[in-house]
Amino acid sequence: MNIEQLMYIVEVAKEKSLGAAAKTLNISQSALSQAITKLESELGVKIFNRSRAGAIPTKEGDFIIAKSQYALEAIYEIKEEAKQLNEFNDVLRMNVIPGLIEPIVDSYLRFKARTPTFKIEVSERSSMNIIQEIHDDKIDVGFIAVKSSNMDVVNGFHFTPVTTGKLLVFASKDSFIANTNKALEPSLLKEQLFVLYKDEYVQSFVSNFHRLYGPINVFLETTDLHVITNTILQHGAITIGHDISATFSRSFPFETEMTALAIDHFFDSSFTYGWIRKYDHKLSEKTNEFIDEVREVLLNKA
């Protein structure tokens, strides 16, 4: 008797068909039939009455199937316990939208002081890249921005909203656009020099702006926030970015040297920010504790 045989009879009892069970178990029907016959021979008990109509458990089979279900549940619990015992040998792989590396690392250093064996790998990616890497099992969890009007992009995933925000225009406090008395309208933006982060939501803004109001003058596109900041401060450029990214990135000093300008009076810039993972990708207790601590940091300053 082995674990596979127990799984087989439980699945056949559920499906009431060898063919359907074989398809679910991803084995051939003949292999499934032989495994059950071998188990019946070993136990000296007929587990199923088989016919063209299906496979129906015998009275003795019902008892064995019930015991097998309990055994499989116990085995699953043992595996989960072992996973918990070994969780600190694993590395939490996570990606976040631009600008959030610093609060993640700060939270990690505080958490690691209490839990020395806890480890993470963290990188910045665009939201759509994070969703794809979650889908491909390249990372365990991600922190993304989802456009409020397009929440269906997280369908099929476990998405936990943390806070809401929007896209803003960022400019040097010494720039014309920050000190003019004119309202921030599309006509004024068309006169500016843009430096942009390579992000699908920024690209969406540019495309929609071009469609509605005409082209903007894009000087540079990059994924380096330091380059964006220097271009804004030294060359009078402006950029489009998430408010939460600017709040937490120390390389984006909008509170001291830059100013944020709203565009939601002519463009839907609202977003929901939150954690995403696969439904069947369970996180360890310590990982959930860490994510909760990061969540509190984001909420307290957002």
What is the full DSSP assignment across 28-43?
Answer: -HHHHHHHHHHHHHHH
Q: What is the mean pLDDT of the chain?
A: 88
- The helix-helix angle for 101-114 and 285-301 (nearest 10°) equals 130
Bigger pLDDT: 161 or 300? 161
State the DSSP H helix or E strand holding residue 275, giving kind and residue range, or none if neither. strand 270-277
Q: Structure pTM?
A: 0.66
Residues 260 and 291 in one domain: no
Residues 111 and 30 in one domain: no
The parent domain of residue 188 ranges over 164-270
- Assess contact for 273 and 148: CB atoms under 8 A: no
The CATH number of the domain holding residue 13 is 1.10.10.10
In a domain, 100, yes or no: yes
Among 205, 174, 193, residue whose Cα is nearest residue 268? 205
pLDDT tens, residue by residue, 122-155: 999 889 999 999 999 999 999 999 987 888 889 8
In a domain, 159, yes or no: no
The CATH number of the domain holding residue 181 is 3.40.190.10
pLDDT tens, residue by residue, 1-46: 888 899 999 999 999 999 898 888 888 999 999 999 999 999 999 9
Residues 128 and 223 in one domain: no
In a domain, 220, yes or no: yes
**Has residue 265 got a pLDDT over 90?**
no
State the DSSP H helix or E strand holding residue 85, giving kind and residue range, or none if neither. helix 59-85
Residues 264 and 289 in one domain: no
Binning the chain into helix, strand and coil, the percentages to the nearest 5 are 50, 25, 30
- Position 87 scores a pLDDT of 52
In a domain, 66, yes or no: yes
Q: What is the mean pLDDT of residues 260-288?
A: 88
- Position 142 scores a pLDDT of 96
What's the domain count of the chain?
Answer: 3
- Position 90 scores a pLDDT of 65
Tokens of 160: 């936990």
**Has residue 86 got a pLDDT over 70?**
no
Q: What percent of the chain has pLDDT over 90?
A: 51
Give the separation between CA 154 and CA 96, rounded to whole angstroms: 15
- Position 53 scores a pLDDT of 84
Residue 247, SS3 per DSSP: helix
Most confidently modeled of 199-208, 211-220, 279-288?
A: 211-220
Residue 132's CB: how many other CB atoms inside 10 A? 14
Among 248, 239, 229, 241, residue whose Cα is nearest residue 271? 241
Confidence of residue 171 (pLDDT cuts 50, 70, 90): very high
In a domain, 154, yes or no: no
Q: Which residue has the tokens 């990690």?
A: 108
Residues 32 and 69 in one domain: yes
Give the separation between CA 152 and CA 187, rounded to whole angstroms: 33
Strand partners, 159: 276
- Position 80 scores a pLDDT of 73
Residues 262 and 227 in one domain: yes
In a domain, 44, yes or no: yes
